[in-house]
Amino acid sequence: KQEVTQIPAALSVPEGENLVLNCSFTDSAIYNLQWFRQDPGKGLTSLLLIQSSQREQTSGRLNASLDKSSGRSTLYIAASQPGDSATYLCAVITRGGSNYKLTFGKGTLLTVNP
Amino acid sequence: DTGVSQDPRHKITKRGQNVTFRCDPISEHNRLYWYRQTLGQGPEFLTYFQNEAQLEKSRLLSDRFSAERPKGSFSTLEIQRTEQGDSAMYLCASSLRQDEQYFGPGTRLTVT
């Protein structure tokens, strides 16, 4: 059974700092990996999707890497801003027949202090 | 707004009552997913539709839960005889083929 772990569970940083969020998974037979952002009481916003054949993806100040063999992904946020404060969720996508199912970690709660 | 929509956004019900939630996916997306998220946890997969066919159900989906997607468009998730343990955020997502899933804003259920 696929298990996804995110470290740290919570992180508080001053504005402007670069930071790294970690995600690990137990079964390397993944299809893709996706990072999401969730604001309190809200749904999920997709940040980056990394296909299993890729090593990294970038969008603006965000960079996500994937190492399938070691079962790890990192999300790098450059020059953090208070508006980045949210919970960041990592999800691995596995294929079962026609179902491409997401298995999520518990998330990292990020607080960026002005 | 052409994203995934869910209705209602919030539902408070008494234990033992039935509730029904609705999800409207992005119009051209043929795949629809339901997830449940409890406080401090990541979302957990409940069920998956491809067009109108329900192709997979999680063991989390007890007999009190039923989901439908008539005509392969919107979907409904019904919970019968609600229990306090059903209190959670119910999230719907849609996708086209195996592409990334797009999530709706969720329905927060509180069972008193």
Q: In chain A, which residue's Cα lies nearest the Cα of B89?
A: A41
DSSP β-ladder status, B10-13 and B107-111: parallel
Q: How many CB atoms lie within 10 A of CB B11?
A: 18
Contacts 24+ apart (CB under 8 A), A47-56: A47/A75, A47/A88, A48/A75, A49/B100
Question: CA-to-CA distance for A1 and A7, rounded, in angstroms?
Answer: 20
Average pLDDT of span B75-93: 97
Mean pLDDT of chain B, nearest integer: 93
Q: What is the pLDDT at residue B1?
A: 53
Residue B88's contacts (CB-CB under 8 Å, 6 or more residues apart) are B36, B37, B38, B108, B109
Mean pLDDT of B28-36: 94
* CA gap B6, B106 in Å, rounded: 6
Q: Give the position of tokens 């491809």.
A: B50
Which of B34, B49, B103, B107 best tests the A interface by mutation, with the highest count of A CBs <10 A?
B103
Nearest by Cα to A43 from B83, B45, B90, B68 = B90
Contact assignment for A100 to B98 by CB distance below 8 Å: yes
Residue B99: what pLDDT?
Answer: 66
Q: Shortest CB distance from B56 goes to which of A42, A96, A102?
A: A96
Nearest to residue A100, comparing CAs of A51, A53, A36, A40? Answer: A51
pLDDT tens digit sequence for A93-102? 988 777 788 9
**pLDDT tens per residue across span A14-25:** 999 999 999 999
Structure tokens at B84: 């306090």
Nearest to A46 among B89, B98, B100 (CB): B100
A32-60 exposure pattern, b = at least 16 Cβ within 10 A, e = fewer: bbbbbbbeeeebbeebbbbeeeeeebeee
User: Does A49 touch chain B if contact means CB atoms closer than 8 Å?
Assistant: yes
Query: Which chain B residues are closer than 8 Å to A32 by Cβ?
Result: 100
Q: Which helix (H) or strand (E) holds A14?
A: strand A10-14
State how far the Cα of B26 lies from the Cα of B112, in Å rounded to an integer.
Answer: 33
**Share of residues in chain B with pLDDT > 90 (%):** 82
Predicted local confidence at residue B43, as pLDDT: 95
pLDDT at B96 over 90: no
What residues of chain B lie within 8 A of the CB of A91, using their CB?
42
Helix (H) / strand (E) containing B91: strand B88-95
CB contact under 8 A, B42 and A98: no
Report the C-alpha gap between B51 and A39 in whole angstroms: 30
The 10s digit of each residue's pLDDT in A34-81 is 999 999 988 999 999 998 889 999 999 999 999 999 999 999 999 999
Section B86-106 average pLDDT = 90
A89 touches chain B (CB under 8 A): yes
Q: What's the confidence (pLDDT) of residue A1?
A: 86
B31 contacts in chain A (CB < 8 Å): 100
Query: Residue written as tokens 């518990």?
Result: A106
- Is A31 within 8 Å of chain B by CB? yes
Tokens standing for A100? 């491409």
**What is the token pair recorded at B98?**
């195996």
Select from B42, B50, B91 the Cβ nearest to the Cβ of A98. B50
In this complex, which of A34, A46, A99 lies closest to B56 when CB atoms are compared?
Answer: A99
